[in-house]
Amino acid sequence: MTFTLRTRLLLAHILVIAAVLAAMTGLVMRQQRAWVEEQTLQALERDVCAVAAEIPARADWSELAARWRSHLGWRVTLVDRAGRVLGDSDLPADRLGEVENHAVRPEVAAALAGRIGRDTRRSATLADGFAYVAAPAAPGSDVAVVRMAAHLSALGALRRVLLGNSLAAALLALLLGVPLLVWVTGRHVARIRELEGVTRNLGQGGTARAPEQPLDEVGRLGRSLNQMAADSRSRLEALGRERDEREHILAHMSDGVALLDPAGHVIHMNRRMAELLGQPLPAGAGTFFGEFVRSPELEDLIQSARRRQEVAEGELRLWAAGQRLVRATATPLSDANRESVLLVLHDLTEAERVNQIRQDFVANVSHELRTPLTSLRGYAETLLDGGLDDVEHREQFVRVIRDQAVRLEALARDLLSLAELERPGARPRLEAVDLRELAERQVGVFRPRTEKAGLSLTLAPGPVATVSADRLMMEQVMANLLDNAVKYTERGGVTVVLGVLDGRVFCEVEDTGPGIPEADQPRIFERFYRVDKARSREKGGTGLGLSIVKHILALHGGEVSVRTPRGGGSVFHFEIPAAPPG
């Protein structure tokens, strides 16, 4: 059976009070008994001394003892010097011969010695308990000792009355103390229960405060609890900030990070890891990593790190999320409870793409340089081998050398322009430029060329289109787009459209050429990319014009795109922010 704290406190206090009252009652009874006996002995001594002083020389001692008995209320015994009983108030005269000699009785012996004697014992003659006091009688009488006795039964009745009073007082004290104990214990238990409620609230993340008054042990406990709660909140807030900082760092890392338990379940994973694996981020811990990624090579790498207890690295291709190339690093983490694995995936896809672009660029530049250089060398050797004497053809040979040199110069110029545009920190020299005026001038430059080819070149009417831009760069954009359109248009014409929409200036250069296949449109602005390589080289050009256009517009916060309408031809569309008013 389980008792509450209040019940245990109440029972303990009641038992303590009952024990204290019982001990006090026992001590009081003992003191009362001693006091009653002492008071009785003093009364006996007072009366026996008075009687002993008035004892006659001769008398009927039994009658005299009986008379004093009736007068004083005590048993009176008269003893001679030999210890024989001459008279006793409680015995008839004819039985005095049966009474034993009293000389050996302690109180009588003391009186025979000239002192007041006292004793309490059971009487052998009357078979009852008595308190005795004996005193020496006055000289000249046959009686040597006068002894008086009080019956102990009367003392016992008095003691019982006193005992009843003591027990009643103890019971009354207990009855009055129990309600007080109930109130006191209830008050303390209520305070403790209040502390219990505060601790439960704090355990659930609340902000309750424990009472600190009155400033006793429970109050000091409440103060300590409040201080502990404040310290705990401070530590939790610090831990929360650290956790949020770690989560923020992990969430914005360019590498994918995942922590796996010994069974291969995900303990934690950042968003980048889910992106690399082409899967949604798990809602919580417990997802099995093998089912999440389904990559045998990655699983083998993790198992190798766990089995060898050393870092395992390797490059592998994830067939999800666009066949990304990643460098995977699996690091075993051992602690007292478990062996986890930290998996880090570093995306090499962009580096691979940049490297491929670099290789393609080098290959394309080499190829673009080799063709004119081969022509230069061939015609130069022809001239050196006697071609100078060939009057009919030598001028043509020199003209070819000049054209190839011009082509090399254009390639070098475009490469330098592209390098300058891609330089970190490249900034255009901004000024207010009327894009329509600039387009009119470029259209005028290209019109003789289009008329010679039998093509039309038109600038559609429209509003003024003012932008904040680098004038020379925007001329280069317009010139490259017009050159590209005129170069690949064999019949029909080219139309330029300019306008302003939603705070941005747009320009469209539309031609009636063969158009660009949809599969080639995303790559048309790459360096040296050609849809029809043989036909493009036949038309001339460096293959860098559209790439230069894209970079210039990007520096101005703009963008360029291409589309092929249903009827054919190509439409190059670009837009940049319009210049602010004023």
Environment class of 131 (CB within 10 Å of its CB; exposed 0-12, middle 13-18, buried 19+)? buried
Q: At 132, phi and psi to the nearest 5?
A: -115, 145
The pairing of strands 431-434 and 559-563 is unpaired
Q: Which residues of 471-505 are buried (b: 16+ CB within 10 A; e: fewer)?
A: eebbbbbbbbbbbbbbbbbeeebbbbbbebeeebb
> Is the Cα dihedral 410, 413, 419, 422 positive or negative?
negative
- Give pLDDT, residue 536: 45
Distance CA 253, CA 243 (A): 15
**What residue type is assigned to position 505 of the chain?**
V
**pLDDT 10s digits, 131-174:** 889 999 888 888 889 999 887 765 566 667 766 777 777 777 77
Query: Which DSSP string corresponds to 71-108?
Result: HH-SEEEEE-TTS-EEEETTS-GGGGGGSPP-TTSHHH
Please check whether residue 55 is in contact with residue 67, taking contact to mean a CB–CB distance below 8 angstroms: no
Question: Between the CA of residue 570 and those of 518, 524, 546, 573, what are the distances in Å?
Answer: 11, 12, 14, 10
Please check whether residue 498 is in contact with residue 465, taking contact to mean a CB–CB distance below 8 angstroms: yes
Domains and CATH numbers, the chain: 7-159 (3.30.450.20), 253-347 (3.30.450.20), 352-422 (1.10.287.130), 431-577 (3.30.565.10)
Helix axis angle, 545-555 to 471-487, nearest 10°: 150
- Give pLDDT, residue 364: 66
Q: Six-digit token pair at 223?
A: 């103060």
The pairing of strands 75-79 and 493-501 is unpaired
Please check whether residue 572 is in contact with residue 562, taking contact to mean a CB–CB distance below 8 angstroms: yes
| Residue 237 CB partners (closer than 8 Å, separation 6+) | none
Residue carrying structure tokens 């439409």:
571
Please check whether residue 478 is in contact with residue 437, taking contact to mean a CB–CB distance below 8 angstroms: no
Residue 466, helix vs strand vs coil: strand
Distance CA 273, CA 277 (A): 6
Please check whether residue 273 is in contact with residue 342, taking contact to mean a CB–CB distance below 8 angstroms: no
**What residue type is assigned to position 478 of the chain?**
M
| Residue 192 CB partners (closer than 8 Å, separation 6+) | 5, 218
Residue carrying structure tokens 């409680």:
90
Please check whether residue 117 is in contact with residue 111, taking contact to mean a CB–CB distance below 8 angstroms: yes
Quote the mean pLDDT of the chain.
Answer: 79
**pLDDT 10s digits, 246-277:** 777 766 777 888 888 888 888 888 777 777 77
Does the pTM exceed 0.85? no
Q: Six-digit token pair at 188?
A: 């303390």
**Alpha-carbon dihedral of residues 408, 413, 418, 423, nearest 10 degrees?**
130
Question: Between the CA of residue 105 and those of 37, 38, 86, 118, 515, what are the distances in Å?
Answer: 19, 20, 15, 10, 154
Please check whether residue 457 is in contact with residue 450, taking contact to mean a CB–CB distance below 8 angstroms: yes
> Is the Cα dihedral 525, 527, 533, 537 positive or negative?
positive
Q: Which regions in the chain score pLDDT beneath 50? A: 534-538
- Give pLDDT, residue 535: 46
Q: How far is CA 244 from the centre of its chain?
A: 10
How many other CB atoms are there within 10 angstroms of residue 133's CB atom?
Answer: 28
Question: Between the CA of residue 249 and those of 298, 396, 505, what are the distances in Å?
Answer: 24, 67, 40
Strand partners, 354: none
Q: Six-digit token pair at 8?
A: 């245990």
